[in-house]
Every structure is written in structure tokens, then in C-alpha cells.
Amino acid sequence: MSPPAIIAPSILSADFAELGRACSDTMGQGADWLHVDIMDGHFVPNMTFGAPVVTKVRPHVDRPTRAYGRGTFDCHMMIAEPKRWVRDFKKAGCDLYCFHYEAAVSSTAADTPEGYSAAQTSPKELIRFIHELGMQAGIAIKPKTSVDVLWDILENPVAEERPDMVLVMTVEPGFGGQSFMASELPKVTALRKKYPELHIEVDGGLSEKTIDQAADAGANVIVAGSAVFGAADPGEVIRKLREAVDSRRGKL
Ligand SMILES: O=C(CO)[C@@H](O)[C@H](O)COP(=O)(O)O
Ligand SMILES: [Fe+2]
């Protein structure tokens, strides 16, 4: 059976001037995780914030007591040098470090002054590094990236080098409030068929209008920014998103 619904509001749509309170309010409204979008202006044409802001926000939300527990900080790293920031985000309180496949396999990074190489490694080496620091590891793919790049990574017999979650982007990364790309759902269907217990996250354009399609495909981790933070009753939206996913468990 697929894993239960995990609803992860994207704080990109929150009021940044009140970020700590926005995060704790959202948790009080029934969110499971917080989805934290990190953008560097290189990998995507937009910038958000880095580890110092995560450090300040983290105490506003209870730490999870187990992997994937309530309060998980799900950091979506839309950055060109994912290896470079793993340590800083661990220190800041990130629980799940989700990097982009496309960034990991590019080779533009330079070494860091901290004395370790930021030169990009293979996804499996990056996953191992994230695990060694005690975080869960996620791997994300953009709409133009084929799901086929993931099979080898998911089949790896070495458990420490396998991702705990796959993120299938349902918009081009960079901005909240874009239209959902249903064209990406066959990737989710293919992943769910092969991996009944894998955490499969979808991100971009999720709302009460699009959740049924995503849930039918087999997604269980649902990111929603504008749909939650723009709602008159965010708790009601979170509840409906959860219900849509959980009502399909065991039927996929
Ligand atoms: O990673 C991203 C955008 O790049 C997302 O997490 C968005 O922030 C989701 O926002 P909505 O599409 O739900 O408004
Ligand atoms: Fe995101």
C-alpha cells in the first residue's frame, strides 16, 4: 500500500515578514511538513533565502520525533550547487534535503573555502553525504527531465545511496502560483507502479481542483503554496488535500 498523505504547505506563499508565525499557524491548521523553497537565482530565475533564515524559523515549529514525522522541514533546493549547502542546512534544522537531479549532474561548481569540494558529485554520492549527516534525502526532477534518469538511482543495492523521496515537479521551478502541468503525472504513475512504498512528492499548482489527478497517479506528498496560504480557511484546504490522497490508498 502507498504511504499515507503528507501535506506540505510551501512557505514561498507565506508572508515573509511574519514567517515564524506563518509557519506555526500552518502547522496548527493541520499541515504535516513545511516545504521550504530555496532558490539561488542561478538554477532558477528567482531568489528566496538561505540557511540563516531557516535557522530562525526552525524554533517556531516542533521538531519531528521520527523520520517523516510532523514538523519535518522539507527543503527543496533549487540551487546550482546542492553539495555545497548540505552542512549548512543540516545545522539550520533541515530534516529532508531534496536536491535537483539536473543540478547534481552539472559540473559548474567551485571548491568552497570551508575545505571540502563543492564540485558536483553523482546523485548517489550526494545522497550518501546527506544521509551521513543524518538527514533524509530527496531527488527532484524538472518537467523537461525524463523519469528514466531515476531508475538506476532507485535500484541502487546500497541503501545509503538510495533516495527516501522523489519529487516530480508539476511546474517549471522558480515561482509559486503557476498552473499545474498534468503532463508530468505519467512520471508519478510509473514511479508508483514500481515502488508502492516510495514517498512521491508533487509540487506546483496543487489545489482542490488538481489534487484528484495527482492522487490518482499515486502521489502522496502534496506541496501546496498559493492554495493553502491564499485560502480563507487553510485548514479546510489541507483537510481536502489529505482526504483525496488517503481515499485512494490501497486502490492504486
Ligand atoms: O518549488 C516551487 C516553485 O518552484 C513550489 O514549491 C511552489 O512554491 C508551489 O507553489 P504553488 O504552485 O502551490 O502556488
Ligand atoms: Fe518547491
Residue 140, pLDDT score = 98
pTM of the full structure: 0.95
Compute the distance between CA of residue 64 and CA of residue 70 in angstroms, rounded to an integer.
Answer: 5
List the strands of the sheet with 72-78, edge to edge: 6-9, 221-224, 199-203, 165-169, 136-141, 96-100, 72-78, 33-39
Ligand 1 mutation target, pool 203, 206, 238, most atoms within 8 A of CB: 203
12 Cα–ligand 1 center, Å: 7
ipTM reported for the complex, 2 dp: 0.99
Instruction: Extract the C-alpha cell encoding 13.
Output: 506563499
Over 90: is that where the pLDDT of 33 sits?
yes
Indicate which residue of 74, 148, 203, 216 is catalytic: 203
Q: Which pLDDT band, with edges at 50, 70 and 90, does 1 fall under?
A: confident
Residue with cell 519535518: 72
pLDDT tens for residues 131-171?
Answer: 999 999 999 999 999 999 999 999 999 999 999 999 999 99
Checking if the pLDDT of 112 tops 80, the result is: no
Which residues lie closer than 8 Å to 208 by C-beta, 6 or more apart? 227, 237, 240, 241
How far is 99 from 138, CA to CA, in rounded Å?
A: 6
- Determine which one of 32, 37, 95, 164 is catalytic: 37
